Amino acid sequence: MPLTVATWNINSVRLRLGLVAEFLRRFKPDVLFLQEIKTLDEGFPYAAFRELGYRHLAVNGQKGYHGVATISRKRLFDVDNRGFCGKDDSRHQAVTIKDGGGEIRLHNFYVPAGGDEPDPVVNDKFAHKLAFLDEMHSWLTAEETSRPSVLVGDLNVAPLENDVWSHRQLLRVVSHTPAETERLVKVMARGSWVDAARHFVPADQRLYTWWSYRNRDWAASNRGRRLDHIWVTPSLRPRLKNIEIVREARDWTRTSDHVPVIARLATT
């Protein structure tokens, strides 16, 4: 069966419910993964998504901060919300879906942003981010990723030079420092993950998924970063059909500073 998955840091699902609904109507992904839903499980707008045909929902919420959710047309199995770094801050969810004659494991991550100062000694938020990436590396081993799997989310790291508007100027800016990018590359390498976006768009081309609210004319200046990712395990590489970054969503009314990323996989 063909499969379409999408990821979007929505920066409050209740505030932007109308935008999510419009996205689902227009792009019709089989599964949408949200980050920063900013609500407890009981405050999630389940009914609105069920009315749109997305009847299978899994939420790992948190009041006012963080939180991830899975919105699916397909039935979800083996839902698991894993805590990282000894914290209960709702930054991960894994689910399984049926795919033709087999199954696919789907991971939804919201990696800590890391604050402003890229020094773990003086900035606890940055220390937390580095520890989170280290734990991802130790947990997502070859054994964990031996079955067909997809990893999506706001990983809050732009790993390549052309994943940011200026590699030189952002080397000391959180999200593109060597301490972060090297760790994310190690996570990818240990699980032999395939970066779906860079599978289609060469590394020498600029590619962004986030533009700051502080820049009023974001499109003209185009000072973006690629913080939102979709990875697949090697067995799914042959099925990758295309990737789409919905850049137009950055201009939607009262939108998130992130835009949706969509990956389409061909029929098995």
CATH number of the domain within which 77 lies: 3.60.10.10
pLDDT above 90 (res 268)? no
Report the range out of 88-102, 129-143, 148-162 with the highest average pLDDT: 148-162
Query: Do residues 230 and 5 lie in contact, with contact meaning Cβ atoms separated by under 8 Å?
Result: yes
> What would the mean pLDDT of 41-69 be, rounded to a whole number?
96
> What would the mean pLDDT of 203-225 be, rounded to a whole number?
95
Name residue, tokens 């992904």.
29
Q: What confidence score (pLDDT) does residue 21 get?
A: 98
| Mean pLDDT taken over the chain | 96
* Inter-CA distances, 228 with 47, 129, 130, 267, Å: 27, 16, 17, 25
DSSP string, the chain: --EEEEEEE-S-TTTTHHHHHHHHHHH--SEEEEE---S-GGGS-HHHHHHTT--EEEEE--TTS--EEEEESS--EEEE----TT-----EEEEEEEETTEEEEEEEEE-----S---TTT-HHHHHHHHHHHHHHHHS-TTTTSS-EEEEEE-----SGGGBS-HHHHTTSTTSSHHHHHHHHHHHHHTT-EEHHHHHS-TTS---SEE-TT-TTHHHH--EE--EEEEE-GGGGGGEEEEEE-GGGGGSTT--SB--EEEEE---
How sure is the predictor about 234, in pLDDT bands with cuts at 50, 70 and 90?
very high
How sure is the predictor about 215, in pLDDT bands with cuts at 50, 70 and 90?
confident
Q: How far apart are the first and last CA of the chain?
A: 6
How sure is the predictor about 88, in pLDDT bands with cuts at 50, 70 and 90?
confident
pLDDT above 90 (res 100)? no
- The range of the structural domain enclosing residue 80 comes to 3-265
Q: What confidence score (pLDDT) does residue 202 get?
A: 97
Q: How many CA atoms lie within 13 A of 201 on its CB side?
A: 18
Q: How many domains does the chain have?
A: 1
Q: What confidence score (pLDDT) does residue 103 get?
A: 95
* Inter-CA distances, 216 with 11, 77, 213, Å: 18, 42, 7
pLDDT above 90 (res 143)? no
